[in-house]
Amino acid sequence: MAATVFTIANQKGGVGKTTTAINLAFGLARRGVSTLLVDLDPQANATSGLGFEKEAGRSLYGPLHGEGTATEKVLATRQENLFLIPSEVDLAAIEIELGQKDDYLVQLREVLKPLVEGDRFGAVILDCPPALGLISMNSLAAANHLLIALQCEYLAMEGLSQILSVVEQLKQAGVNERLTVGGIILTMYDVRTNLSRQVADEVRKHFPALVFENAIPRSVRLSEAPSFGQAIFEYDALCSGAVAYGKLASEMIKRFSLPEKTT
């Protein structure tokens, strides 16, 4: 059974995208879903956030040039069922180099195909740079579902229509007709502020079927965890952020029928 591929993409930075990629992947793995997290951001924050160093030759840069395979880049993590393909600074050059290739939008899909079509993983999560460049477009072309991390502020809402438009353009152009918007994850939610509540209510009103029930709270602990190279479940398993991502993982498993390993 092929893996379900999710891309977490947003043209705006600072919305909790990588925090979500790390902790959602970790949360799924804790629930028994064999999960591969692919760090496609040259800043490599998902890589360092799981405690790995940036090392030359570890990313998908080589395979995207026909040198080696994606399978060779997969690393096991401390968490059972969680695997990582790291990023590195060389990946920044891909934005320029991909545009020089034929079928430049589907290069990532072809590279990941052996990992997606095998039965090793139930879920593959792609963490993209905070821009709708060629890396992000490749991730959308490779994914089954787009997950949008939406910060609970009005400026973040302005970019929502843009990324939804990009999804439709890719589908209509025949680049990835299977792509759907899998869900909207409300991040940095502060129940104490009117703004957070108003934004959440507005998004739920316009996209009732898409918004995940569990919003991710604004949390100092979530901000601290990556500096220690840990997911929130390792850093503080009892904090509100860990509870929220645990519930989000459960929602994901139910919504997308992700396979859980039984012991």
Q: What is the CATH number of the domain that holds 129?
A: 3.40.50.300
pLDDT digits (tens, 9 = 90+) for 65-86: 889 999 999 999 999 999 999 9
Residue 18 makes CB contacts below 8 A (sequence gap 6+) with 41, 45, 46, 49, 127, 226
Instruction: List the structure tokens of 191.
Output: 């129940």
Domain for residue 259, yes or no?
A: no
CB-based contact 84:125 (threshold 8 Å)? no
pTM check: above 0.85: yes
Domain for residue 117, yes or no?
A: yes
Domain for residue 262, yes or no?
A: no
Domain for residue 55, yes or no?
A: yes
Domain for residue 191, yes or no?
A: yes
Q: How many domains does the chain have?
A: 1
- Name the percent of the chain lying above pLDDT 70: 97
Cα distance between residue 28 and residue 82, in whole Å: 8
Domain for residue 14, yes or no?
A: yes
Domain for residue 20, yes or no?
A: yes
Domain for residue 227, yes or no?
A: yes
Domain that holds residue 166: 4-254
pLDDT digits (tens, 9 = 90+) for 102-135: 888 999 999 999 999 989 999 999 999 888 889 9
Residue 218 makes CB contacts below 8 A (sequence gap 6+) with 188, 189, 190, 196
